[in-house]
Structure 1
């Protein structure tokens, strides 16, 4: 347990179906253990830098695509609202990092459990386990639960 005595669960949240499943599991686990959640959402700037794409909507309006940071903030805010709606104490952190696994592992130094989805938004849909969950499993300072 963490130093304050509360069972702390770190959850990687990226908005993917698998991370939403991980969040649901973490909410249930936190309720069972009277614990809290630390929600981590990592974002990075694409290698060629990010420039807002201008998109034309079906009704002819021109809109700018959100930045990766803004998308991450929205995902994080949604996850925090979900936790609050379930009555679970949760904190959130949006981290600018080229490695989502490193962001999760840094946040889990004093955690009791890490929960991640088996896959995120990666480009290899046939894999059963993504690179982030694999790295977290191999380097975690505490038990890890990978939710399919």
Structure 2
């Protein structure tokens, strides 16, 4: 096991209640192990977006992801007892791949589960499922509280 001062728990944050539950879980675990937490949010252009125009200008996609990440981390930080360092990172790309890349070298990857049924999970694909299958570190999947 590596030095706790260098240990990192990566957690995916998208503003959903399940991702906030995952962030809370990751912070509690970090408090127990002395690890740091890296909260990661991904953003990408939706499939229906075109350069001629869309629901919002391109730069607003990243700004929206950043605000969602900041709001979630701020909320959890106010509930945290003890010193746990939480860093924030916004990355462009598909959520699952962003988290897999971010978790390279991490002690643990924590993601929320939206709890879609098997039909919708198969149809839409599952970020948590892809992370569990392809991560090079242990993965914890947290359901909404």
Q: Give the TM interval when normalised to the shorter protein.
A: 0.7 to 0.9
5+ residue gaps, structure 1? 55-63
RMSD: 2.6
CA distance in 1, matches of 2:21, 2:39: 13
Q: Which runs of 4+ in 1 moved over 6 A?
A: none
Tell me which residue corresponds to 1:126.
117
Tell me which residue corresponds to 1:91.
87
2:39 matches 1:39: yes
Structure 1 segment 46-65 matched on structure 2, within 5 A: 46-49=46-49, 51=53, 53=55
8 Å CA contact retained: 2:103, 2:109: yes
8 Å CA contact retained: 1:40, 1:94: yes
CA distance in 2, matches of 1:80, 1:19: 11
CA distance in 1, matches of 2:19, 2:2: 24
Structure 1 residues 138 and 53, CA gap change in structure 2 (3 angstroms) = closer
TM-score, scaled to structure 2: 0.78
Q: Specify which structure has the higher proportion of helix.
A: 2
CA distance in 1, matches of 2:5, 2:30: 13
The Cα offsets for residues 22-61 of structure 1, whole Å up to 9 and x where unpaired, read as 011111111111111011100111123264649xxxxxxx
CA distance in 1, matches of 2:49, 2:111: 28
1:2, distance to aligned residue in structure 2 (A): 5.1
CA distance in 2, matches of 1:53, 1:147: 31
Q: Secondary structure at the match of 1:67?
A: helix
Structure 1 residues 137 and 9, CA gap change in structure 2 (3 angstroms) = same
CA distance in 2, matches of 1:18, 1:84: 16
Equivalent pairs, count: 133
- Greater C-alpha radius of gyration: 1
5+ residue gaps, structure 2? none
CA distance in 1, matches of 2:3, 2:89: 20
Which of residues 71, 75, 78 is equivalent to 2:68? 75
8 Å CA contact retained: 1:10, 1:37: yes
TM-score, scaled to structure 1: 0.77
